[in-house]
A and B are shown apart, each in its own frame.
Chain A
Amino acid sequence: MRVFIAIGLATAGVFAIAASLAPIAAQEGASAATPYQLPPTHFGSENPQAVHGFDAAPGFANAPVPRNPLAPDAKVVGQQTCTACHSKESQTFAHTTHALGMQVAFTANPDTATCEACHGPGSTHAQNPGQRGAIIAFTKDGGTPVKNQAESCLGCHAGGPRDHWLGSIHQRNQLSCSDCHNPMAQFSGEGLQARQSINETCATCHKDIRQQFNRRSHMPLPEGQMACVDCHNPHGTINVALLKTDTVNETCYQCHAEKRGPFLFEHAPVRENCLNCHTPHGSNQHALLVAPVPMLCQQCHSHTRHPNDMFNEQMLGNAMAPDERLMGRGCLTCHSQIHGSNNPAGPRFHK
């Protein structure tokens, strides 16, 4: 493991050095109206450093100023106007990577849009701060339609995981980006969430799903070792249930690759869909099973001889007629390779 980490970090480090020296493609200058001439204020760092003649981060250097349909005549005023009033916001914003990138781009080119790259041109808002919709706001009473809020964010963040945002279930339910994200402060360790973690963000609305993870068997999401987005892409996908992969099973194989096979002897409902037997968010049964064994298996099996007896409490370990088909792991004590067997004597998953 240590060798792997060392090699991996060394490789990445060499790459990073090479990348930082690589030439950047010619940038298109951001089109912005001449900013008003206002007194300078701090932005981001307590010790701003104005240095010229270095490469600005291309992503932030070309941030477009989104159009605000509710203030079509507004003009760009520049960040100094914004931070003159919103100094506390800029202090908390300074802890984010957005702020870092914007600061570098702004220092290289004072015409670069920073605050207004997200909030749109600010002149109307500066003249009448209380007017709703005068600036692109991302909060409940801000006055900006959800559609325009999303367009602002997608001005820089289009594509990639958000490729299928339009028409997705969250978009159709009128969710804004700012329902889940809040880039004005670093609330979470990952993803600029609106809450302390990805999972808490999803649980804001999907508490009924989150509570299932408190059941007896669950994946380690409450323990902070995985996130909802390990399986789902909330920004929209072409797959069922916002899954990130083409099928349910391929989602599961991301962490359970040993189940992928293919096996010499397949178990048909397993290959069809893992959710035929498992419920992914939490179960009162062992191993996320939908039903107690052997009843789980008896939903499909009624072969002659031993699968289709009706089991009862007198067949348990402390009763009259202990029966291995019911005790402990039940059917799975013998049919252990239930996900498939690669043994030539395993068609019934015994080996």
Chain B
Amino acid sequence: MRKRERKTVLQLSLLASALWLAAPAALAQDSGLGTDLQFGNALDPSGGTALLGCDPDGATWLAAQRKRTPTGFLYPCPPAWPAFSADGTWRHRGSLTLGYLGVWGDGNNTDWRRFSNWDDDVYVGADLRFEKAVDGSYFDLRASHLNEDSQYVRAVFGRAGKYRVQAFARSQANVTSANARSIWDGVGSNHLTLTGGLVPAGSTSAQVAAVSAALPERILKVVREKQGVGISYMVNRRWTAYANASHESREGARPFGGPFFFNYPFANNGGIYEIPRPVEDSTVNFNGGARFVGNAWRMDFSYSGSFFRHANAAFDYEVPFGLSPVVPGLVSPALTTGQFSYEPDNDYHHLRASVSRKIAWNGDFSLTATGGRMRQNDRIVAPMTCQGQFGIPVIPGALHDCSNWNTTDALSRKRADLGIDTQMVDARVVLQPTDTATWRANAKFQREDYDGTYWMYNPLTGQWGYPAENGSQGSVVPGEAGIWDPGFNSAAPTRIRNLPLDRELHQLSLGGDWRLGDKNTLGATYTFERTERTHREVATTNDNSLKISWHNRALDWLTLRANYTWLRRTGSEYDYDPYEFTFSSALPGYTGGEVAHTVSALRKYDVGSRTQNKLDLMATFTLPREMTLYASVRGDWNDYDAILGRRGYDTIGGSLQWEWQPSASTVASAWYGYDRSVLDIANVNDAALTADPTLGGTTYPDANRWWINDRQRNHYAGANLTRRMGRVTLDAAWDWTYSRGTTGYRYNSPGALTLPTLDPLLTGQFAPMIHRVNALTVGVTIPLHPRVSLRIFDRYQRGRLFDWHYAGFEDGQVYDHRVYIDGGPENYSVNMVGALLEMRL
């Protein structure tokens, strides 16, 4: 355990101890706060109850017909929990499971392994509960181990109605690539070095391709290891208090990037590297507070803290390819290494106070105030890591000394010193003056203030800006190093400072619900929301929305719910270039020509005007013979007021679900779902570098306009059957997903293309992107002894996957000066057989 890890563990332990000393109580994670509320795995997502089977005696001896929820869904059969054994003061029940999982076929597939990292491995599971009837004490333990990357243990103990303590530890895998060919050694470390004898900045594309092709495929993964403890205590009838603390570490590697300038316009030049980025960080989360519930008043006070830490500030990677200036006859100094900064250590503090009171007219008033701060003050690394010089010799101002840029003395300040302060105040009132009417009103104020300014000024040289793309851009194209000075580089456009983003929101909402008889409820809500933003294209946006809801139970066998929302966003005048103050063109002495920042007709969809319609319909049919049928439709249509940019985004989907539980020995269900989305985008290719930003002008001519239409279609289906036949239980589950996406395009002329010569070859769309997975699991549980049962199951899963981004990667992953490590989605067919022996205590 490294020094930083030990420090984190110690901090957390001290925190937990301080909590015990100072706080009278704490709350375990609950639906109002925190995460880690589900402990399961790919073998049993339910976390233990799914494999129990049904109690053969059902839920009651008083009625043959099964009970349903008020909406109409059948309650499932009660699980067949083992009986408690009484042995002294404590009674207990539970089971231990031991088994083995074997995987055959294409087990090394990213999609198959993704969140479980399935492989041949021993399985261990435990589910124990101890109760002390004398005083209501209990202890609950659940554990499951698929492999070292996918396992958990969760313990809960306490006294019913008094206190509850939860502690857990879990490992969660995220396989980011199972077919990676890394030409870098040191995967997972902070220094990635070239393998296979490749020479940094001195290798040819053929050499790199040969090394890549000869490499075996490997698995890249990031594993989260998380531990937590939470305490809940009921001080008295009114007050409860709580605290939770957790520590999570992430470790592994994932495909990432690495820019050394373009290759597409410059054959045998530039460099684009998909490096295996190391991941090694930790996060400590803490929340705690107190809640009061009285006859009239309710209160909730809480603090949440989160502390992200990284042991290192940056990592570097060697690059195989050299760079050549576009000016013939010149030779750039070699750049052998690129660098990335890790995400900064950051602290998050958040305080929340909420006070509610019952008021007249059977009403309720709530006032909530929160305040928070996100802060980071990391040491900033130097802009470059090179030695010697970088850039292009001979050309004045194009060659730079590394010693002026590979030191933190090249920075305007050594630490980031940045923060975002947040505040929120929310007031709401609900009145129920009669049994049939409810009135609602709500007002909210919310603000985010970005605090901190960073100037990209080098005090060693008096220059502004930064060496772009690890110094590569200025090593290929003169004048494009990214560095400005009032001398030779006075015309260089570059960034000179950070971009602060503040936001303030004002919201007002009014609504009502009316019960029309016993069968119908209608509701309507109007909401106005004004958002002000700094340094964005739209300074103020106004959202007006109207939501209507209808609930109907007119028919005894049918429950209907319908919700419709209309939203209209408008705003202040659109400023297509609010960022000029961050560029060198704002500096005195800038001599560069004016070039359009972007096309003025483009609208950024996150702040631009739009109209939205949303519809949500749900119907639950209570059928005879212990059946339920459920149908839902959901649609979301967005029309953006934009000629360029996102113009429309529509989604619609639905599902049909059937359930049947004729007896405790038979449970069956089947479902089908469908959804589709259509995304319309438009843009325009530039034809020249001029100052004219208008669509149809000299920079962005109409002839260069183009449109994209992305359509996604998804079909889903599944069925489940559990059937007890004598002493044996059969279970079967089938899941099928078929996703098909087509990205089509059209354009006014070949001027829209990078290479107009490709025009005759174009078909108007990319190959369909496919994700089709079929999985069938069949299992049988055989009792061998009153306390021992054996479950044998087979899971067959087949995937047909295609992503056009990776077209051709099966033949090689090096294309001129582009190196890719991730082979992309691949077809697979896997059979997993498991044998689990369960022993009941």
Contacts and interface: CB of A to CB of B under 8 A. Distances in A.
B396 to A, nearest CB: 23
Contacts of B274: 328-329, 333
A219 to B, nearest CB: 9
B60 A86 contact: yes
B70 A298 contact: no
Contact of B806 (A51, A186, A195, A328): A328
Contacts of B467: 345
Interface stretch (A32-40, A72-80, A166-174): A166-174
B673 A179 contact: no
Interface string B24-50: 000100111111111111101111111
Given A11-B16, A351-B339, A25 B743 contact: no
Given A12-B231, A295-B743, A55 B135 contact: yes
A215 B31 contact: no
Interface stretch (B96-104, B323-331, B413-421, B831-839): B413-421
Interface stretch (B182-190, B209-217, B783-791, B820-828): B820-828
B710 A321 contact: no
Nearest to A343: B341
A334 B259 contact: yes
B822 A325 contact: no
Contacts of B236: 24-25, 58
Given A4-B227, A92-B59, A344 B264 contact: no
B258 interface: yes
Nearest to B413: A344
B758 interface: yes
A229 B245 CA distance: 18
5 contacts: A59-B160, A179-B69, A261-B343, A300-B605, A302-B700
A149 B263 CA distance: 67
A333 B380 CA distance: 23
A317 interface: yes
B681 A298 contact: yes
Interface in B759-785: 761-763, 765-767, 769, 771, 773
A93 B62 CA distance: 15
Chain A interface, DSSP helix/strand/loop, else mixed:
loop
Nearest to A164: B366
B646 A299 contact: yes
B641 interface: no
Contact of B49 (A197, A222, A327, A345): A197
A317 B809 contact: yes
Contacts of A230: 35-38
Contacts of B805: 286, 292-293, 316, 326-330
Interface string B262-273: 111000000011
Interface centre among A187, A264, A276 (most CB of B within 10 A): A264
B632 interface: yes
Contacts of A164: 366, 428
Contacts of A184: 59, 78
A347 B344 contact: no
A47 B91 contact: yes
Contact of B766 (A48, A204, A272, A313): A313
B92 interface: no
A208 B632 CA distance: 7
A323 B134 contact: no
B74 to A, nearest CB: 10
B763 A334 contact: no
A174 B133 contact: no
A261 B500 CA distance: 13
Given A208-B653, A215-B737, A260-B308, A328 B157 contact: no
B716 A9 contact: no
Nearest to B557: A140
Contacts of A28: 237
Given A164-B366, A178-B69, A272 B606 contact: yes
A102 to B, nearest CB: 8
Nearest to A327: B805
A209 to B, nearest CB: 8
B662 interface: no
A312 interface: yes
A316 B240 CA distance: 60
B380 A264 contact: yes
B119 to A, nearest CB: 15
Contacts of A178: 69-70
B285 A292 contact: no
Interface stretch (B192-200, B683-691, B723-731): B683-691
A309 B754 contact: yes
A137 B765 CA distance: 58
A164 B492 CA distance: 56
Contact of A258 (B174, B273, B281): B281
Given A15-B165, A189-B48, A302-B602, A264 B498 contact: yes
Interface string B580-597: 001000000000000111
Interface string B348-370: 10100010100000001010101
A304 B808 CA distance: 29
Interface string B67-79: 1111111011011
Contacts of A163: 32, 298, 300, 354, 356, 366
A105 B161 contact: yes
Nearest to B628: A204
A19 B25 CA distance: 9
Contacts of A348: 468, 495
Given A19-B233, A104-B160, A208-B634, A343 B655 contact: no
A58 B763 CA distance: 73
Interface in A213-228: 214-216, 220-227
Contacts of B344: 261, 263, 342
A278 interface: no
B272 A229 contact: no
Given A215-B771, A223-B45, A284-B714, A310 B747 contact: yes
A131 interface: no
Contacts of A185: 59, 78-79
Contacts of A205: 71, 618, 620, 630, 632
Interface string A329-351: 11011111100111111111011
Interface in A56-70: 57-62
Contacts of A20: 135, 137, 159, 162-163
Contacts of A128: none
A221 B116 CA distance: 12
A173 B161 CA distance: 31
A110 interface: no
A226 B152 CA distance: 12
Contacts of A346: 341, 466
Nearest to A332: B257
Contacts of A291: 679, 681, 710
A329 B35 CA distance: 30
Interface in B428-475: 428, 430, 438, 440, 442, 444, 446, 450, 452, 454, 456, 466-470
Contacts of A48: 133
A335 B803 contact: no
A52 B599 CA distance: 82
A188 B308 contact: no
B356 A212 contact: no
Given A4-B227, A238-B428, A295-B710, A344 B237 contact: no
Nearest to A242: B31
Given A266-B499, A309-B685, A159 B291 contact: yes
Contact of A351 (B169, B340, B375, B411): B340
Contacts of B804: 313, 316
Nearest to A108: B135
Interface centre among B69, B72, B466, B595 (most CB of A within 10 A): B69
Contacts of B679: 290-291, 295
Interface string A257-295: 111111111101101110010000000111000111101
B79 A342 contact: no
Given A208-B655, A320-B761, A351-B340, A235 B227 contact: no
